[in-house]
Amino acid sequence: MQVGIVGFAGSGKSILFELLTGARPDPSRTHSGQVGVAVLHDPRLDFLAELHHPRKITPATVEFLDTPGLLQNAQSENAQRLGLIREGDALLILLNGFSGGDPVSELNRFGEEMLFADLLVITNRVERLEASVKKPRPDREQQLKELELVKRALAALESGATIASLELTADEKKPMRSFGLLTDKPRVVVLNAPQGTEPPAGLNPAAVLDVKLELELAGLEPGERAAFMADLGVTELHRDHIIRLAYDAVGMITFFTAGEPEVRGWNLERGATAVEAAGKIHTDLAKGFVRAEVAAFDEIKAAGTLKEIKARKIERLEGKNYIVKDGDVVYFRSAV
Ligand SMILES: Nc1nc2c(ncn2[C@@H]2O[C@H](COP(=O)(O)OP(=O)(O)O)[C@@H](O)[C@H]2O)c(=O)[nH]1
Ligand SMILES: [Mg+2]
C-alpha cells in the first residue's frame, strides 16, 4: 500500500515526507522517488496492548513515496515524472499556500497535468488495441471489450473528466486499475500554509498545516514542544491525521492480532475475506485455514478485561468467506 506525495516543485513535499515517515529526503533519490514508512497511530492498538501486555507492539503502516515536483509549462516532462506514481494506491496532493500563489489555480493546473499524462497512456492503448483486433486471434473478443472500455476512458479524459468519475462496473474497474491512471486514484488535498490560514474560496483541503513548522516541532522533546506550541498558538499537530486520511482514502481497513507475544495491526483491503486476512500474516496460515475466532474491537473495549471478554463470550467462530471488518480482532486456527 503506497501513497504518492505529489504536487509542483517547491510545495513542501519532501518536508512533508520527512514529517510523515521520519525518513530524511535523499537528494540523490529525488528523481527516482523515495519510499518511507509511516506508522498509523491507532488508539485501538494501544488499548489492546494494555490488555495483553505483549512483548512486542506492531502498528499498521502506510508507505509514502516522495516524488519529484512538477515544473511549470513542461507537460511532457511532467507526464514522465507522474509516471513514477502509477503503482500508487492514492495521491496526496500538496499545494503551496505559503509564498503568495493561488492554490486553487495550482490544483487546477495539477489536475490538467494528470489528465494529460493519462491521455498519453490511454491514447497509446487505444491505438495498440485497434491494430491488434484487426488480426484474428484467440482473445479477440476480450480485446474488443477492452477497446470499448478504453475508448470510454479516452472520451472522458478528452472532455476533462477524471477516470474516477466514470461509472464503471467491478469487472471494468480491475482492468482500468491495471493502467495505473492518475485520475483513477483517490486523492487527498493538503494545503501547506501558515498556522491559522483559511483555505481560499473554492478549495476544500482535507487539512491545512504549516509543514515546515510542524517538522521543527516534531523534532523537539515533548515538554519543549508543548511550550513552543503554546507560544505560537499551535493547538494541534496534523501528522497522525494526515496519515489516517491517506490510509482511509486507499480504502484499507485494519484488523488486529492480539496475544502475549505480539499485538499487531494489519492492513487489509476493504471487503477481503478471513482466509485472505490469514494470507497477510503467512501463506501457511491461509493454506491451513480452519477457522477464525473473531471479536469486534468495540465489544472487547466494552468488556474491558480478558476475564470479562471470556465471560461475555463475544468471540465468534467464522469460516473462510467471512468478510473481515475494520477493528476485528482475529485469531486464526490453522491445520498447518
Ligand atoms: N515558509 C515556508 N517554507 C516552506 C514550507 N514548506 C516548504 N518550504 C520551503 O519550500 C522549499 C521547498 O521545500 P521542499 O519540501 O523541498 O519542496 P518539494 O519540491 O515539494 O519537495 C524549501 O526551501 C522549504 O524551506 C512552509 O511550510 N513554509
Ligand atoms: Mg522534493
pLDDT greater than 80 at residue 10: yes
* Tens of pLDDT, residues 274-285: 999 999 999 999
Over residues 50-89, the pLDDT tens digits come to 999 999 999 999 999 999 999 999 999 999 999 999 999 9
Q: Give the atom of ligand 1 at the shortest distance from the alpha carbon of 7.
A: 20
Strands of 207-209's sheet in order across? 34-39, 61-66, 2-6, 90-96, 187-192, 207-209
Phi, psi of 295 (to 5 degrees): -135, 140
Half-sphere exposure of 77 (CA within 13 A, CB side): 10
Q: Whose CA is nearest to atom 8 of ligand 1?
A: 12
Mean pLDDT score of the chain:
95
Supply the pLDDT for residue 323.
98
Q: For position 58, what pLDDT does the model report?
A: 98
Reported as a pLDDT band with limits 50, 70 and 90, residue 223 is very high
| pLDDT beyond 90 at 15 | yes
What integer pLDDT is reported at residue 20 of this predicted model?
A: 98
Confidence of residue 162 (pLDDT cuts 50, 70, 90): very high
Q: How far is the CA of 9 from the centre of ligand 1 (A)?
A: 9
Mutational test site, ligand 1, from 70, 71, 212, 237, max ligand atoms within 8 Å of CB = 212
Residue nearest atom 5 of ligand 1, based on CA coordinates: 212
Determine the distance separating the centroid of ligand 1 and the alpha carbon of 195, expressed in angstroms. Answer: 15
Instruction: Indicate which residue's Cα is closest to atom 6 of ligand 1.
Output: 12
Q: Which cell goes with 21?
A: 515517515
List the one residue out of 52, 58, 73, 76 whose CA is nearest residue 8.
73
Q: What does the pLDDT read at residue 137?
A: 87
pTM of the shown model: 0.93
Query: What is the residue with the minimal CA distance to atom 15 of ligand 1?
Result: 12
Q: Which of 61, 60, 54 is nearest to 258 (CA)?
A: 54
Measured from the CA of 16, which atom of ligand 1 is nearest? 15
pLDDT above 70 covers a percentage of the chain that reads 100
Output the pLDDT for position 126.
96
Whether the predicted pLDDT of 236 surpasses 90: no
- Pick the ligand that lies closest to the CA of residue 34: 2
β-sheet bridge partners, residue 62: 38
pLDDT in tens, 101-157: 999 999 999 999 999 999 999 999 999 999 999 998 899 999 999 999 999 999 999
Q: For ligand 1, which residues put their CB under 6 angstroms from it?
A: 7, 9-15, 69, 98, 192, 210-212
Q: Could you say which ligand is closest to the alpha carbon of residue 13? A: 1
User: Which listed ligand is nearest to 213 at the C-alpha?
Assistant: 1
pLDDT at 336: 72
Over the stretch 44-59, which tens digit does the pLDDT of each residue have? Answer: 999 999 999 999 999 9
Domains within the chain, CATH numbers bracketed = 271-334 (3.10.20.30)
Asked if pLDDT for residue 224 goes beyond 90, the answer is yes
Return the pLDDT at 60.
97
